[in-house]
Structures are given as C-alpha cells and as structure tokens.
A and B are shown apart, each in its own frame.
Chain A
Amino acid sequence: MIKTNPFKQIFRRKLTLKQKEAMYGRLFVLPWVIGLIVFFIIPFVNSVYYTFQKLSLGDQGLEFSFIGWENYIYAFTKDPNYVKNLTSSITSMLYEVPIVIVFSIFVAYLLKDEFKGRTFARTIFFFPVIIASGVVITVLKENVLGGSTSNMVASSTTIFKAENLRAVLINAGIPRWFSMYVVDIVNKIFDLTWRSGVQILLILAALHNIPKSFYEVAIIEGATEWEKFWKITFPMISPTVYVAIIYSIIDYFTDYGNQVMRMVVDEANKGRFEYSTTIAIIYFLVVMVIILIVNRVIGKRVVYLT
C-alpha cells in the first residue's frame, strides 16, 4: 500500500535521491556543527582576540589594551625558549610516533590469538590508559621515575637507562647517528610503552573485526604468515592504524610532558594568559599543518572495504 502522507509526498517530489542523502547526512552531523560553532569557534575567536591584547588586573576586574602583533613578535624573536622547544618537539615526534605505531601493531597482533593468560596480558596492557591520563602519572613520574629521596626503590629505575649501550654500539662500528637513535629509543622504552595503550586497544578491536573467511581463503590459496599479514591483516586494519597515527601525533603534542605544553601551562599560571594563548595558538597551527600533511600522505593509502 502506498502511504498517503501529504508531507512526505511533497518531500519526495522536491528532492532527488542525492539531495535527500545530503539532507540526512547534515541532520546526523547537526549536533556537532552546533557545538562546533557555539562551544568551539566562538570561544576560539575570543581567545585569538586576547592574543592581540595585553591583560592586566585593574579596578574593575580584567582590563584589556590593544597591542597588535606584540605577543607574536615576542614569541618568535625575544622568547629564548619558544622556537627551540617548538622545533625539538616536532623532530622528536617524527621518530617517536612511528615506533609507537609499530609497537602497538606488534603487541595487538600478539594479543589477538588465544593463549593461556591472554586475559591477564590484556588487562595489563590497558593499565597505561587507566593511569597515564590522570594526575596519577604526574605523581608516578615524580616519585617513581624522578627518584625522590624518600625511597630506595627509585634507584632501580636505572634499568631503563642505556648509557653503556651507546659505547657498545659505536665500538661495534655502527654509524654514530644510528646508535644515538637506538640508545635514545631504549631510554624511552618506558615512556613509549606507556604511551601506546590506547593504540593497542584500537588496533586489537580492528583485528577482531576482520572476517575469518578471509584467512580461510588465504590458507587454501597457500599464503604464508608473512603474506597473510601484508595482504589481509594490514590493509584491513589500515583505517584504524590511520586513527592511531593521528591519535599518537595529537597525544604526543598535547601531553603535559611536552616542553611547549609545559610552557603554555606555566605562562598561564604566571598570569600571562594572553601570551600563553598566543604560544598555544601558534603551536597548534603548526601541529595542524603537520596533521594535514599526514592526512594527505596516509589518508589516500588507507583501504576501505566499501
């Protein structure tokens, strides 16, 4: 039976299938678009406006005076730390993120199959997510890794340091830059493992979403484990790996351990809110450019089933 809802009939006559799809798409995205304008763009524009001001405490609360590009000029030419910290965070991001991603894929691949104690292993690998995002990690970094005087245990964290390794590698005739790189990574193993909890979980979920029939076909065709990984597993999880890469970059840049982030928070605590916002905005414009480049390079290589 044909429904005779007049409203619906008008709708059907006016919109083509494409227009209808677009309309429904916009409806689905609508809450976010409202939020974007009200709770992001307007406050953001407000914040940008502050960066051209000098804030000071006057008789009637905060007072603003327009100073133009002063804050930006200060950040680039006068602040001794800003440019240095900015470049060093970007360069270390470039090599830390690939390691985090490879490590997460590797761990997720190991944890995927059934083995005794898998539940235990998975529980453990989620600990960083529970702990690392809160205040607790700050306490841990100070008390456990910083080596406070109140305990003797702190000294044992030197197991994560690799001072001797560098000498061994250089003596073995390995190029200097490469051995420096290796040593640097070994020193950061603790940090890197702690930073890959989310990525492991995302990739693990993606691995379980690959239909088993794909592997059955591959086995019948006589594929090796290596081929199975590169021809099935990797393309199938590539959308998630893409999320994980973007996430890692952002997580790296917004981490409180990051030098620039620390500067942002410090300046805000000093009461120089306008300068803090200025350096934050420059910083995130730079990060945005990096993400757009990554998006260009990797986004096209991602495989979608449909």
Chain B
Amino acid sequence: MKSVKSLSMSYIGKRLNVNEVTKSVAKKRLFIVLKKVFLYAFVICMSYILLYPILFLISNALRSKEDLFDPSVIWIPKHITFSNFEYANVLLSYPTAIKNTLLMLIPSVIIQTFICMMVGYGFARFRFAEREILFTILLFTIVVPLQTIIVPLYVKFRYFDFLYIGKLLGFITGKPLTVNLLDTPWPFYILNLFGMGIRSSLYIFVFRQFFRNMPVELEEAAKIDGCGPFSTFIRIMVPNATGAIITVMLFSIVWHWNDYYVSAMFYNENLPISVMLTVLNNRMSMIQDAYNFSSEDIYLMGSTVLEAGCLMVILPLIVIYIIGQRYFTESIERTGIVG
C-alpha cells in the first residue's frame, strides 16, 4: 500500500522512504539558514563600502574649522555646525539652481522616455530592410560620447535653424533667420525629442531588449480587436512596459541631474545645480565678503563647504529615490505577464 507521502514523492520522480524525506527536509532547512546568514553578511559588508563615502561627506560637512586638524576627531565632530550648509546654500544659489535644473529636467525626462520607448519598439517588433544597419549605427552612437561632437553642436544651437527653414526665409528677407537657443533648456528638449539626448541610445537599446521579450500573442490579440500599430503601442505595450519605463525614467532623472559637461557647454547664466557645484570653489570670495572671513579661513573651509555642497546636490535625488523606491520595486515585480 502506498502512503500519501511516498505518492507525492513519486510524483516528483523519485521514490523515497519517509526517513530519507525528513533528511532532505533538514538539509534544505540548513541550506536556507546558511543562505540567510550569507545574505546578511554580504549586504552588511556592501552597505559599508557603499555608504562609506556618504557617511564621510556627512561627517566632514558638519565639522567646524577647529575640527579639521584635530586628530582625535575621526567620525563625530566635536563642534557640530550647520554653517557649512549655509555657506554652500549661498555659493550654489541653491533655490535658483534647483529651479533651473528642474526646468531642464522634467520635460526632458518625459520626452526622452517616450521617444526612446517608441524607437525601441520600432526596432524590436518591425522588420524592414535597413533595420540591422540602423541598429549597428545606434550601437555606434552609444559609444561615441558627446565630447567628440560638442563643438559643432554648440555652433548648431547658437545659430539654430531647424531643417534650414531659416535659410529658406533668408532668401526672401535677405538675412538668414536663426535663433540663439543657448542659455535656455531648448537644446535639451530638442535633442531628446529626436532621440539624441543624454544616453538616449542606451535607453532605446534597453527598450528594444525589453519589447523583444514580450509575447507576440499580446499584439496579435490587439490586432484582431482592430488596433493599428500605434494604438497597439499606446494601449497594450506602454502599460505593460511599466518596469522598463520606471527604470529608464529613474536613470534619466539621475543623469540629467548629474550632467555637467553638456550643461556647462549650453548654459552661461542659468546654470543648473551640478554645474554650480563645479564652480563652487571659484565663488568662495562671495562668502568672504559677506561673512568677513580672512583668506586663510576660506582656504581652510574650502573642502568642508564643498562637501556640504555635494550633500545638498545629491540630497534631492536620494529623497526622490527613497520615496519612489516602494513604487519602483512593486512595479518591477508586477510587470511579469503571468500566463
């Protein structure tokens, strides 16, 4: 007579007696415990490596200048002060710089995510003769950084003339019509609109890989229900791509926020926050006059104020991430199409 247990075991494909079953269960439990121990040890070690610089920044930003050369101060400063943040606030023109950054960042991120998704879908799901060669060029554009083409781009946006319409008008009015788009966020919007923004090619690549892995049946069902390619894209693919969208959006926010090379090229006055950070040290004289510091003080405080500034620059990103984290992890879990 078969017991229930041996029946269930034969279902798995092996015949085991009860003794062996308890043994294997014990083995499995031990394995789970070991895995947990290892997991926590690993996470704690990694947390140390990854949090170390942040803790270092916090510790240094809170130091007053007396603590700087005090060897007994290792992590916790003796004279905790928030004045470094106050100075950094002035030097970075924090509120204005944040406003400038957001003005550039929010439309850019939205445009970039949508356009990259569209192009990625085009590459993933349609067959046309020149697809492979275009895709190879796409890889090439990821590799060539903006540094190699930044000067021609600068000239292009200084005398912006879309599709030579201005030049055509020039034949009528006698003088070619161009617009100076520098010092506005428009270069970013335009580049993103045509899939050439900061790391756009990479996002196209990500979306292409993502869509290639989606079941074709979804689209076929939509087609039978009378959807054209564009409505299939908007109504079926976009809602199902939440995971990829959020991943890309997060990267896009972070990289637009942190970008300083392109911004420094395109802006002269309305500088975004990351460019302000690069010039922070050069602006130290601003607080020298305002707070009556000697130049020696300024020299001493240079690094602590810079570190406070660093914290203030990354703080909004960390806040966004911590708030968005929950939604973010949930969404990447929900996207799997359970069939």
Residues of A within 8 A of B (CB): 18, 21-29, 31-36, 38-40, 42-44, 46-47, 50, 107, 110, 115, 117, 119-131, 133-136, 139-140, 143-144, 148, 150-153, 189-190, 193-194, 198, 201-202, 204-205, 208-213, 220-222, 239-240, 242-243, 246-247, 250, 253-254, 264-265, 268, 273, 277, 280-281, 284, 287-288, 291-292, 295, 304-306
Query: With the chains together, A130 CA to B332 CA distance in Å?
Result: 19
Partner of A125, one of B46, B134, B260, B313: B46
Nearest residue in B to A136 (C-beta to C-beta)?
A: B310
Looking at the assembled complex, report how far the CB atom of A214 sits from the nearest CB atom of chain B, in whole angstroms: 10
Task: Provide the residues of chain A in CB contact with B206, threshold 8 Å.
Answer: 202, 243
Is B71's CB under 8 angstroms from A110's CB? Answer: no
Q: A26-B128, A264-B147, A304-B212 are in contact. List 19 more A-B contacts (CB 8 A).
A: A24-B122, A36-B141, A39-B156, A39-B191, A43-B156, A46-B151, A110-B39, A115-B36, A124-B46, A127-B51, A130-B254, A131-B53, A131-B54, A153-B56, A205-B244, A208-B333, A208-B336, A222-B12, A246-B205
Q: If the complex has contacts A115-B39, A130-B314, are A306 and B338 also in contact, measured as CB distance less than 8 A?
A: no
Contact with A along B173-203 (1 / 0, CB 8 A): 0000000000000000011011110000010
Task: Provide the residues of chain B in CB contact with A124, threshold 8 Å.
Answer: 43, 46-47, 50-51
Whether B143 is near chain A, meaning CB under 8 Å from some CB there, is yes
Main SS at interface, chain A:
helix
Is B56's CB under 8 angstroms from A305's CB? Answer: no
Task: Provide the residues of chain A in CB contact with B69, threshold 8 Å.
Answer: 150
Partner-contacting stretch, out of B81-89, B102-110, B289-297, B319-327 = B319-327
Looking at the assembled complex, report how far the CB atom of A108 sits from the nearest CB atom of chain B, in whole angstroms: 11
User: Sorted from nearest, which 8 A-B pairs have the closest CB atoms?
Assistant: A25-B126, A35-B194, A28-B122, A134-B258, A43-B152, A32-B195, A22-B128, A43-B149
Is B247's CB under 8 angstroms from A202's CB? Answer: yes
Looking at the assembled complex, report how far the CB atom of B247 sits from the nearest CB atom of chain A, in whole angstroms: 5
Task: Provide the residues of chain A in CB contact with B14, threshold 8 Å.
Answer: 222
Partner of B119, one of A28, A50, A212, A254: A28
Task: Provide the residues of chain B in CB contact with A198, threshold 8 Å.
Answer: 251
Is B336's CB under 8 angstroms from A209's CB? Answer: yes
Is B243's CB under 8 angstroms from A134's CB? Answer: no
Q: If the complex has contacts A121-B43, A134-B258, A135-B274, are A43 and B134 also in contact, measured as CB distance less than 8 A?
A: no
Residues of B within 8 A of A (CB): 11-14, 36, 39-40, 42-43, 46-47, 49-54, 56-57, 59-60, 68-69, 71, 73-75, 115, 118-119, 121-123, 125-129, 131, 134, 136-145, 147-149, 151-153, 156, 163, 190-191, 193-196, 202, 204-206, 209-210, 212-216, 229-230, 233, 243-244, 247, 250-251, 254-255, 257-260, 274, 277-278, 303, 306-307, 310, 313-314, 317-318, 321-322, 325-326, 329, 332-333, 335-339
Is A136's CB under 8 angstroms from B313's CB? Answer: yes
Task: Provide the residues of chain A in CB contact with B196, threshold 8 Å.
Answer: 32, 35-36, 39-40
Q: If the complex has contacts A32-B115, A268-B147, are A204 and B332 also in contact, measured as CB distance less than 8 A?
A: yes
Is A193's CB under 8 angstroms from B337's CB? Answer: no
Is A123's CB under 8 angstroms from B335's CB? Answer: no
Query: With the chains together, A188 CA to B318 CA distance in Å?
Result: 25
Is A29's CB under 8 angstroms from B194's CB? Answer: no
Is A305's CB under 8 angstroms from B215's CB? Answer: yes
Is A213's CB under 8 angstroms from B338's CB? Answer: yes
Query: With the chains together, A240 CA to B248 CA distance in Å?
Result: 13
Task: Provide the residues of chain A in CB contact with B39, threshold 8 Å.
Answer: 110, 115
Is A133's CB under 8 angstroms from B314's CB? Answer: no
Partner of B303, one of A23, A119, A133, A143: A143
Task: Provide the residues of chain A in CB contact with B141, threshold 8 Å.
Answer: 36, 40
Is A130's CB under 8 angstroms from B122's CB? Answer: no
Is A208's CB under 8 angstroms from B332's CB? Answer: yes
Task: Provide the residues of chain A in CB contact with B13, threshold 8 Å.
Answer: 221-222
Task: Provide the residues of chain A in CB contact with B119, threshold 8 Å.
Answer: 28-29, 31-32
Query: With the chains together, A237 CA to B337 CA distance in Å?
Result: 15
Nearest residue in A to B228 (C-beta to C-beta)?
A: A24
Query: With the chains together, A38 CA to B152 CA distance in Å?
Result: 11
Query: With the chains together, A291 CA to B205 CA distance in Å?
Result: 14
Q: If the complex has contacts A31-B119, A40-B149, are A25 and B128 also in contact, measured as CB distance less than 8 A?
A: yes
Is B123's CB under 8 angstroms from A29's CB? Answer: yes
Is A292's CB under 8 angstroms from B136's CB? Answer: yes
Is A134's CB under 8 angstroms from B274's CB? Answer: yes
Partner of A42, one of B118, B152, B212: B152
Partner of B314, one of A131, A152, A250: A131
Is B127's CB under 8 angstroms from A135's CB? Answer: no
Looking at the assembled complex, report how far the CB atom of B140 sits from the nearest CB atom of chain A, in whole angstroms: 6
Query: With the chains together, A22 CA to B129 CA distance in Å?
Result: 8
Partner of B148, one of A210, A280, A288: A280
Query: With the chains together, A134 CA to B148 CA distance in Å?
Result: 19
Is A129's CB under 8 angstroms from B251's CB? Answer: yes
Looking at the assembled complex, report how far the CB atom of B283 sits from the nearest CB atom of chain A, in whole angstroms: 14
